Structures are given as structure tokens and as C-alpha cells.
Amino acid sequence: MTSGLWDLVLKGIWTTIQLLVFSALLAAAVSFVVGVARTHRRWIVRFLAGFYTEVFRGTSALVMIFWVFFVLPPAFGWQLVPMWAGTLALGLTYGAYGSEIVRGALKAVDPAQQEGGIALSFTPWQRMRLILLPQAVPEMIPPFSNLLIELLKGTALVSVMGMGDLAFSANLVRLALQESAEIYTYLLLIYFVIAFLLTRVMRGLEKKLKAGVGKAPQRGVAAHELKRAETTGVSGGGVA
């Protein structure tokens, strides 16, 4: 490969990483807001949050991307730059999956903790902030780590819309060089390396957060993989 083509691939990697970071941030924000809203006292808030989750988990991420690129602009009269359109579609979709993780982790906190907060006459917001979230967040990290890998795989979808991410630039290189096998093998390897690095970072984060509440990180591969089986795609308990 010539250096010009490598430059193209490097730009693609950079776009993919940017998109990954932005949509992960949006997805995290959406998951916490919607996940916490699903434990709200008022039924209407719970209902709206549940409705959001069902709708965004029900559609395909690619259909969502098409919708944001083609239906939003004429409907509202403004057009997003591709990066923000991709971020919006991916963040909203994966945020819906993430909200299930947040809800599950909040539900898994020992009810006595919640009651303790009530006995101390904490406000609901104080209970959430000081009691529930600090204990629930470390438990969310392994499923969030799996979701982050799913999101990384999801970023490849924007290449269908012609956005210059890693998969798109690799396609351009393939057209230039006419060597599919080599280019696509490199492409898969690059995605695999990014996914591997992300898993490492998230494992370190889990260790740090769990040490903060006096727990050891999850031991053994089997438990980790089981969690993944539950949380990727559609979560185990509340089926899509």
C-alpha cells in the first residue's frame, strides 16, 4: 500500500474513534436518564421511559441511521452534518440498550439500602445519588463493556451512508488496489485490536470502581461471558 492510502485508512480510524467516543457519551447519558426514569415514582415517567426503550430497541440501528439521514432533514427543515447524524442515531439506539443495564443494576441493589435511605429521611434524589448509584455503577461496567464493543461494531454502519469512517475508507482502498482479501483482513484486524483495547480499559475501570466500594472484580471468564450473553442484543429478563 502506498503512503497516501495509509493516510486514508488513518483518517478513517480517527473518524471511527471520534464517532465511537461521541456516541458512547450520548448513549451513556441516555442510558442513565432513561434507566433512572424507569424507577421513578410517577407511572407516567416510567411509562414514557419504557416506551422510549421499546421503540429504540425494537428498530434496527441501520434503519435508524437511514431515518436520521433521510427523514429528519425534510421533516424539520434542518440537516445535521454526517458526524452528528451518526452520533444521534447510534447514541439513541444503544442508549436504549444501556438503559436496561442501568435499570437492572439499580434493581439489583439490596432493598435494605433504599430503606436505610428512607429511614434517614434522604430525598429521592439524595438516595439515588448517595446510596443507589455508587453501589450500582460498578456492577454496570461489565455489561457496559460488552455494549461498547457492540457500539464499536455499530459504527461501521455509517459507512453505508458514505461517511468516511474506517470501513468506508477501506472500501475506497479496495477499489484502488483491487485486493479484497488483503484489505478486508487488515480491516477486521484493526477493528479487533480496537475492541481488545476497549475491553482492557473497561476491565481496569471495573477494578478501580469495585475497589471503591470494597469488592473484587468479577472472577473467571465464565461469569463474564454469561453476562455478555445476557446483555448483548436483547437483554435476558425484559425481552425486547
Partner 1 sequence: MKWDWNAVSDFMPHFWDGLLVTLQALALGSLISFALGLVWALLMRTPTRWVRWPVGVVTEFVRNTPLLVQLFFLFYVLPEWGVTFSALTTGVFAIGLHYSTYTMQVYRAGIEAVPAGQWEAATALNLPRVRTWQVVILPQAIRRVIPALGNYVIAMLKDTPLLMAITVLEMLGQARLYSQEHFQFTEPLTVIGVAFIVISCLASLLLRALERRLVH
Residues that bind partner 1 (CB under 8 A): 54-55, 57-64, 66-67, 70-71, 74-76, 149, 152-157, 159-160, 167, 170-171, 174, 180-181, 184-185, 187-188, 191-192, 195-196, 222, 225-226, 228-230, 232-236, 239-240
Residue (15 or 114) nearer to partner 1, CB: 15
Phi-psi region of 121 (alpha: psi -120 to 50; beta: other; left: phi over 0): left
Residue (108 or 229) nearer to partner 1, CB: 229
Residue (51 or 120) nearer to partner 1, CB: 51
**Helix 82-108 vs helix 133-155: crossing angle, to nearest 10:** 150
Question: Would you give the DSSP letter of residue 216?
Answer: P
CB of 31 to partner 1, least distance (A): 18
Residue 155 and residue 148 in contact, taking contact as beta carbons nearer than 8 Å: no
**Helix 82-108 vs helix 3-37: crossing angle, to nearest 10:** 40
Residue (20 or 36) nearer to partner 1, CB: 20
CB of 196 to partner 1, least distance (A): 7
124 is written with which cell numbers? 429521592
Helix (H, G, I), strand (E, B) or coil at 138: helix
CB of 216 to partner 1, least distance (A): 22
Return the ∠ at Cα 192 (arms to 94 and 6), rounded to 5°: 110
CB of 127 to partner 1, least distance (A): 31
CB of 114 to partner 1, least distance (A): 28
CB of 190 to partner 1, least distance (A): 9
Q: What residues have CB less than 8 Å from 56, skipping those under 6 apart?
A: 64, 92, 93, 95, 96
- Residue closest to 16 by CA, chosen among 167, 130, 122: 167
Residue (135 or 199) nearer to partner 1, CB: 199
